[in-house]
Amino acid sequence: MIKVAMTSVYVDDVAKARAFYTDVLGFETRIDMDLGGGTLFVTVGASEGAQPDLQLLLEPGHGPIAEPYRLALHTAGIPCIVFSVDDIHAEYDRLRGLGVRFTQGPVEQGPVIAAILDDTVGNLVQLAQHKG
């Protein structure tokens, strides 16, 4: 069986991204390595033991491939990743209370209720709650 072990999002600033994804979204740091020369290798994952074998790499988003890709997604309003939540309305209220800017509040979209937020490091992120 093949499973996803790690995926990545390109970010403007790895340290700032780590703070947002952990302090605001509630992920935990899984790997935090200084590779030298100002390069950080940071992964985060769901907290409290959820999805222990799945990590999100906060990848430096500068460069000839990453930067245009990230900018194109953001400009088009397309989230770079989707996170599932149990109660989207509670998460929406919690995150707005922490100052998170949403480009779309919770709306029904087929089998899910979805909202889109700005992660402060160059990306839009979708939160989705399955209906029923």
User: Does the structure show a pLDDT above 90 at 17?
Assistant: yes
**Per-residue model confidence (pLDDT) at position 39:** 86
Length of the chain: 132
Token look-up 């069986």 returns: 1
pLDDT, tens digit (0-9, with 9 covering 90-100), for 102-131: 999 999 999 999 999 999 999 999 999 999
Residue 38's pLDDT band (boundaries 50, 70, 90)? confident
Compute the mean pLDDT over every residue in the chain, rounded to the nearest whole number: 95
pLDDT, tens digit (0-9, with 9 covering 90-100), for 18-27: 999 999 999 9
* Token code pair at residue 29: 């740091």
**Per-residue model confidence (pLDDT) at position 2:** 96
**Per-residue model confidence (pLDDT) at position 58:** 97
Task: Please state, as a whole number, how many other Cβ atoms lie within 10 Å of the Cβ of residue 88.
Answer: 21
Give the amino acid at 101.
Answer: R
User: Does the structure show a pLDDT above 90 at 49?
Assistant: no
The mean pLDDT of 18-40, rounded to a whole number, is 94
Write the CA distances from 84 to 14, 20, 69, 87, integer angstroms: 23, 17, 23, 9
Q: Give me the residue spans of the domains in the chain.
A: 6-130
> What is the Cα–Cα distance from 120 to 13, expressed in whole angstroms?
9
**Per-residue model confidence (pLDDT) at position 37:** 86
Q: Domain 6-130 class?
A: alpha beta
